[in-house]
Structure 1
Amino acid sequence: MNYLAHIYLSGDNDELKIGNFIADGLSGNKYSHFSSEIQKGILLHRKIDSFTDTHPIVRKSKKRLHPRYRHYDGVIIDILYDHYLAKNWSTYSTHDLNDFAQQFYNLLTSNHDILPEKIKHLLPFMIKGNWLYNYRTLEGIESVLIGMNKRTKNQSKMNLAIEDLQIHYKDFENDFTTFFEDLRTASLEQLKTLNR
């Protein structure tokens, strides 16, 4: 899953949110200097990724993309699924999405010193483009896909995935809706395990 889903699945625990968000900026087991709650967030992130990568519905979604994008199909699906979460936000949360996004940016800004360098570099772009909020529109997703393609020096062709999204829009949305219920359940179970 992509940024919005990871943050959402952390619940109301700010340190858990930070850990879940920064996990991709850390390598291996180099996180023992963080608080225990941030460490739980990192472990939750990894569990979410593992669950997502092996889920049959996600594999079905990726299969629609694989011939064109090959090993980038998983990255694209993560982004597309965040679109459906943002678009249908009121189904999953009572908080306004833009307020949720701004509160999270403020949380990261006030904890800037502890963020990994990779995340410190990413954060200004994320805030300026209000990524979490703009995932809800096709234009917002297209902008993210164009940016991701540039990061791969135009080798991934991820910028073209907006076409695949439009062609298979309902199929991807149905996949997301079913999968996300499974993921929410699995995340809650993992949180219980981490809090024992």
Structure 2
Amino acid sequence: MNYLAHVHLANVTNTSKTGSLLGDFVKGQVSGLNFDNEIKQGIQLHRSIDSFTDAHRYTRSLTVQLGKLRRYGGIIIDVLYDHQLALNFDQFHHQSLNRFAKECYAELDTELAALPDSYVKTVKEMKQMDWLSGYGELPNIERALIGISKRLKRPVDLTQCLDWYQTNQDNIELGFSEFYTDLINFACKQVMNNSKN
């Protein structure tokens, strides 16, 4: 999953939003990372969510449809899932996406000290350009894919997937609701099980 889904799932599970995003910026065993336990729990949940998403039958079925881009399916589908979540946010959350995004930015702002520079830069850009709300607009999805394409070791035009996505968007939206419900249930169970250990 991408940024919007990770912070939303952190909200649903009452875990660290900072940790939920840091999962993309830190490597190694979570137990060895120099963060407090709440942030570590968020990082671990991030990794579990990514593994669940990649292995889910719905994600695998979409990845196959990407043809020559299927090698980058995990990256592409993560971004497209955030678009679906943004479009259907009221189905999964009691607040509007705009209000939720503003509250996230305020919370993330309070926890920027002593965090990796790359993370701090990303969070500041996220707030300044309102990435979380912006996932509801297809041009912003295109920009996100362009940015990711440039950061790949061998640049590939990931925006080639957008024709396929727009053609199949109605069907993808139908499957997304069931998938994201599965993901919410998984994330809640993970946190519950970890709290018992």
User: What TM-score results when the alignment is normalised by the length of structure 2?
Assistant: 0.91
User: Which residue of structure 2 lines up, in the alignment, with residue 156 of structure 1?
Assistant: 156
For structure 1, the residue ranges without an aligned partner over 5 or more in a row are none
Q: Give secondary structure in 2 for the equivalent of 1:10.
A: helix
Q: Give secondary structure in 2 for the equivalent of 1:195.
A: helix
Measured in 2, the distance between the counterparts of 1:179 and 1:33 equals: 33
The structure 1 segments of at least 4 consecutive aligned residues displaced by more than 6 Å after TM superposition are none
User: Which residue of structure 1 lines up, in the alignment, with residue 117 of structure 2?
Assistant: 117
Query: Shift of residue 139 of structure 1?
Result: 1.8
Amino acid aligned to 1:145? L
Measured in 2, the distance between the counterparts of 1:153 and 1:47 equals: 25
Residues 43-96 of structure 1: CA distance to partner in whole angstroms, max 9, x if unpaired? Answer: 11111011111111110011111x231321110100001111111111111112
Amino acid aligned to 1:29? Q
* Contact residue 9 and residue 187 of structure 1 kept, 8 A: yes
Query: Shift of residue 186 of structure 1?
Result: 0.6
Q: Give secondary structure in 1 for the equivalent of 2:11.
A: coil
Amino acid aligned to 2:127? I
Is 2:11 aligned against 1:45? no
Q: Give secondary structure in 2 for the equivalent of 1:34.
A: coil
Measured on the aligned residues, the alpha-carbon RMSD in Å equals 1.9
User: Which residue of structure 1 lines up, in the alignment, with residue 35 of structure 2?
Assistant: 34
Moved more, 171-180 or 35-44: 171-180
Measured in 2, the distance between the counterparts of 1:159 and 1:124 equals: 25
Query: Shift of residue 13 of structure 1?
Result: 7.0
Measured in 2, the distance between the counterparts of 1:6 and 1:177 equals: 16
Query: Shift of residue 12 of structure 1?
Result: 5.9
User: Which residue of structure 2 lines up, in the alignment, with residue 189 of structure 1?
Assistant: 189
Q: Could you tell me the percent identity over the aligned residues?
A: 35
Query: Shift of residue 153 of structure 1?
Result: 7.2
Amino acid aligned to 2:51? S
Is 2:69 aligned against 1:57? no
For structure 2, the residue ranges without an aligned partner over 5 or more in a row are none
User: Which residue of structure 1 lines up, in the alignment, with residue 98 of structure 2?
Assistant: 98
Moved more, 44-53 or 136-145: 136-145
* Contact residue 13 and residue 191 of structure 2 kept, 8 A: no
Query: Shift of residue 40 of structure 1?
Result: 0.8
1:3-42 matches, cutoff 5 A: 3-11=3-11, 16-29=16-29, 32-42=33-43
* Contact residue 13 and residue 187 of structure 2 kept, 8 A: no
